[in-house]
Amino acid sequence: MTFVSDRVIAGRLSTGLKRNPTRMQTRVKICGITRPQDAIAVAQAGADAIGLVFYPHSPRAVEIDQAREIIAALPPFVTTVGLFVDAEETTVRRVLAAVPLDLLQFHGEESPAECRRYARPYLKALRMREQADVLATAKQYHDAAGLLLDTYQAGVPGGTGDRFDWRRVPAHLAMPVILAGGLNAENVAEALTTARPYGVDVSGGVESQKGIKDAYKIRSFIAEVERVGRD
């Protein structure tokens, strides 16, 4: 059984969630939160979601207790996303048992079956290497809550701080697209008008150093997204 039904997918198609129509506010996820105070700053700035990186090799990696403290600091209605990179099933299940996550994000080479086995809504990340096929990937992971398109850099699974060519984002996709990779307050407006994604995901562009978020940069980033969203 898939978590997202065909009816939901059909609904997304008919409501245009795959693409951000004019006047619809772009959703914002701030990834790589490592401290409760950063989670509060993110929520106060008006972000829709925070990302917690359960990938031990990342400079933004969090432990289970740390993740619980961060989430406990959040006000209601901020989505919590747990990010994994080719993690063992037991690892994901251990995190799920202890941390109240709303959404999973699979940022490695996880197969559709591996993404589905937790019966939770999930985002699948696709790193935009030259031969990446966005349409085929969306078909393959048709029950995903969204497809997160990120920059490809050999040996670095995410958080590269680099952008890719936003013109590569297809105009029509049967699921929400979340744009990631090298976004910041200076370039997000151009990214939105070029790719028109459902949402954006940023990490390095709102940090003062790796894993430490900067409240001013977060506010500037969200202000830009809101400004473009209102046009």
Instruction: Catalogue the active-site residues.
Output: 31, 150
Kindly determine how many residues on this chain lie close enough to bind ligand LARABZUK according to the rule CB under 6 A.
25
Q: Which is nearer to ligand LARABZUK, 143 or 207 (CB)?
A: 207
Q: Which stretch binds ligand LARABZUK (CB under 6 A): 1-9, 93-101, 196-204, 213-221?
A: 196-204
> Is 51 a binder of ligand LARABZUK (CB under 6 A)?
yes
Q: Single out the residue of 4, 40, 134, 161 in contact with ligand LARABZUK (rule: CB under 6 A).
A: 161
Q: In sequence order, what DSSP letters do the residues of 65-102 get, joined into one string?
A: HHHHHHHHTSPTT-EEEEEESS--HHHHHHHHHHS--S
* Residue-level length of the chain: 231
CB of 12 to ligand LARABZUK, least distance (A): 21
Q: Which is nearer to ligand LARABZUK, 161 or 170 (CB)?
A: 161
DSSP structure class, residue 204: G
Distance of alpha carbon 57 from alpha carbon 25, whole angstroms: 34
Could you identify the residue written with the tokens 């984002």? 169
> Is 214 a binder of ligand LARABZUK (CB under 6 A)?
no
In the range 19-38, which residues lie near ligand LARABZUK by CB under 6 A?
Answer: 31-32
Q: Which residue is nearest to ligand LARABZUK (CB)?
A: 158
Q: Single out the residue of 26, 34, 58, 220 in contact with ligand LARABZUK (rule: CB under 6 A).
A: 58
User: Quick one: which H or E segment has residue 189?
Assistant: helix 188-195
Strand partners, 78: none
Alpha carbon distances (Å) from 60 to 53, 163, 206: 6, 19, 13
The two tokens of residue 13 are: 């198609």
Distance of alpha carbon 229 from alpha carbon 231, whole angstroms: 6
Q: Single out the residue of 26, 80, 137, 160 in contact with ligand LARABZUK (rule: CB under 6 A).
A: 160
Distance of alpha carbon 142 from alpha carbon 139, whole angstroms: 5
Q: Which stretch binds ligand LARABZUK (CB under 6 A): 14-22, 70-78, 180-188, 214-222?
A: 180-188
55 neighbors 37 (Cβ within 8 angstroms): no
- Residues lying near ligand LARABZUK in the complex (CB under 6 A): 31-32, 51, 53, 55, 58, 60, 83, 85, 107, 150, 157-161, 180-183, 201-205
